[in-house]
Amino acid sequence: MLVELFLLPNAPIMTAAIFCGTKKPESNEEYLRPLVKEINALIVRGIIINGEHIAIKMRSIVADTPARAFIKGVTGHNGYNGCLKCTVEGVYHSAGRTMTFPGINAAKRTDHGFRSGVYSGHHKTTTPLLDVLNFDIIEDVIVSDRLHLIDLGVMKRLVVAWRDGTQMQTHWLPEDCKEISAMLRKIELPIEIHRKLRPIKFAKFWKGSEYASFLQYASIVVLKEQIPYDAYNHFLLLYCGVTLLSSESFKKNGRLLESFSDDSCKTMGGFMVHNMWAVMCTTFSM
């Protein structure tokens, strides 16, 4: 978990605390209470660095999916009420053995509602984070993590599904995989990208940067002859949506992703899992 306390251009990054144990902490009270006490003390009095008085505010908490649920004391991402941002109720998809989240119109969760305990199916236990001064428990525990949501989330799920034929109309044969891998070897990526794309047979072991490179640079060429026409046009909604949202000028325009998610629910059933749902919640809460 990364807690961003403040931005100090003239000071190095500092380790505030390290939790040590033989396994992950079982109690968020034990894990977070010392942090909350120290944060509140710093918020009240500030801190002196190089003779300068610095005001402190806990701006955000960055954590992976299981850690976010743990520190907030809520249902995990595979639960029926696992969305951190809205009140959508999951639907279990037996064919894909996944929890899916259809639609994007559920009411948003709020800091007031969370503190009032109105989300009965969402809450599991209380959290010390509620005691942090001037902290929004919904907005300040962020989920806008492209690496895990899009690259290692949606994109990985698509590529592996196309390759293995799970939840898709497509199942790449060995000769298809060889052809795709040969195309990947020929692609010249921008000079600042140092990791080359490995053969498609290693897709389950690709790094997030490989999936990002595949999405942004290789996909629209490689996939055109390898997946059905309708599936390719459906994928272009994701490609164009992510590309547009990479620019501040088009940050508010998420309708392509909305169309992608709607079509995913209709054609792929169990595809609208937590990663895709979190992308949609993040997009439409900006």
Nearest Cα to Cα of residue 158 among 92, 119, 215: 215
Q: Which of residues 20 and 225 earns the better pLDDT score? A: 225
Q: What does the pLDDT average to over 258-278?
A: 59
Q: Which helix (H) or strand (E) covers residue 112, if one does?
A: helix 111-116
Give the residue with greater pLDDT, 124 vs 102: 124
pLDDT of 20 > 80? The answer is: yes
Residue 262 — φ and ψ, nearest 5°?
Answer: -60, -45
Token reading at 5: 């306390």
> What DSSP state is assigned to residue 74?
B
Residue type for position 173: L
Tell me the pLDDT tens digit for each residue of 21-51. Answer: 888 898 999 999 999 999 999 999 998 877 8
Is the pLDDT reported for residue 60 higher than 60?
yes
Q: How far apart are CA 200 and CA 28, in angstroms?
A: 40
Question: Residue 169 pLDDT > 90, yes or no?
Answer: no
The answer to whether 28 and 128 are in contact (CB under 8 A) is: yes
Find the range with the poorest average confidence among 23-32, 149-158, 160-169: 160-169
Q: Residue type at 98?
A: T
Residue 284: predicted pLDDT: 47
Is the pLDDT at 174 greater than 80? The verdict is yes
Number of other CB atoms surrounding residue 174 within 10 Å: 8
| pTM beyond cutoff 0.85 | no
Average pLDDT (191-205) is 94
Whether residue 283 is predicted with pLDDT greater than 80 in this model: the reply is no
